[in-house]
Structures are given as structure tokens and as C-alpha cells.
Amino acid sequence: MMMEQTNYSEPTIQFQNPNHITYQTILNGFAQNEGNSFSQKHLQRLSDFSKTIDEPLVYGAFNSEKHYLNTLKLVLDSTNETSNRINFFQKKVLPSIKKSRRFLDIGPGDCALTKAIASDFEHITAVDLNQHILNELENHLPDEIEFKKIASCVSSAVLDAGYYDFAV
């Protein structure tokens, strides 16, 4: 499968196997967008890891929770997005919050941001449909932080209006 170049300058990527991201795809695509900031060793690890992810049974859907988590890990490990996001919150956002006692995390993803800024809060509430993500986050938070997990879609979650100082 070949993606043709579009008018918004997306890199052309060729897939030898459309179900796996190849080393060359990562090198030409993700790393190019990140200013070639990844080592060859890191790119090879990403390529090797991508080959362990099963192809989807239905295009556009995840086969299982594990399939979702592995795909999320591959995407996040293929960019500097997580570290850039954490740096932005630590250097720009948190200093601008007058009081930061209660944090609402809607869809914690890989939990990296919440884990990185958790010590700035006394209470954290996380809302996600994925119970595994909520449990993972709970296992990595310091014991002194009060943690509430809501396994629900945010639109049906019962949240106290005005309770949270900060929400993502």
C-alpha cells in the first residue's frame, strides 16, 4: 500500500506489510516529524516492537485491551509528544495555577502526564473506560495522594462542579 503525497506535505510512506510499521516507515515518517531526534537503536526497537502487534481483525478497531495498549505504546514511543507535554505542563501550566489541590484527568492515556505531575496535587480523579489504565495509574501514584477512579465515559461520569482546580 502506498500513500500518495498530499497538499499538506505529509511524508510518503510505503508499507511492505500494511499490518506492521517497518523500520523505514518509522525512520521516514515519525522520526522526520521529530527532527530525527531518535537514535538508530531506538528506531530499531520501535520497528521490532511494531512486529509484535497483531493486525486488527477489523480495520479501525482494536482486537483487545492488550492490542490497544500496545498500539498506544508504539505511537507514544514513536514521538516526543509525551515528554514535550510533560515539560509544557510542568514549566508553563502548573506555575500559572494559583492552587493545585484537585486534578481531574479525563482519559489518562499512558498515565505519563498524571504520574509526572501527581506530586503537585492532593487529590486526583481519573475518568476512563479502560479499567486497566485506571488500575495502572492507581498503582503508580504516591500513597499520600487521594485517588478516585471512575470507569466510565466522561459524558456519563458524575463529577462535582467547581471541585477541581485543574482538568486535562
The count of structural domains within the chain is 2
Average of per-residue pLDDT across 131-143 = 92
Q: Residue 151 falls within a domain, yes or no?
A: yes
- pLDDT at position 36: 52
Q: Residue 91 falls within a domain, yes or no?
A: no
CA distance 139 to 84: 24
Fill in the DSSP letter of residue 2.
Answer: B
Q: Residue 72 falls within a domain, yes or no?
A: yes
Q: Which domain holds residue 141?
A: 98-167
39 & 67 share domain: yes
If DSSP codes are grouped into helix, strand and coil, which group holds residue 97? coil
Q: Residue 2 falls within a domain, yes or no?
A: no
* pLDDT at 27 > cutoff 70: no
Q: Give residue-wise pLDDT tens across range 81-135.
A: 788 888 888 888 888 877 778 999 999 988 999 999 999 899 999 999 989 889 9
105 & 74 share domain: no
Element at 106 (helix H, strand E): strand 102-106
Binning pLDDT at 50, 70 and 90, where does residue 18 land? Answer: very low
CATH code of the domain in which 114 resides: 3.40.50.150
- pLDDT at position 20: 43
75 & 126 share domain: no
34 & 71 share domain: yes
Q: Which of 35, 51, 79 is the last residue of a domain?
A: 79
68 & 123 share domain: no
Q: Residue 63 falls within a domain, yes or no?
A: yes
105 & 161 share domain: yes
CA distance 150 to 160: 13
65 & 102 share domain: no
Does the pTM surpass 0.75? The reply is: no
- pLDDT at position 5: 38
Q: Residue 10 falls within a domain, yes or no?
A: no
- pLDDT at position 123: 94
Average pLDDT over the chain, rounded to an integer:
77
What is the bridge-based pairing of β-strands 166-167 and 146-151?
unpaired
Give yes or no for a contact between 137 and 164, defined as CB atoms under 8 angstroms apart.
no
61 & 33 share domain: yes
Q: Residue 3 falls within a domain, yes or no?
A: no
Q: Residue 7 falls within a domain, yes or no?
A: no
Q: Give residue-wise pLDDT tens across range 63-82.
A: 888 888 888 888 888 877 78
Identify the residue with better confidence: 130 or 24: 130
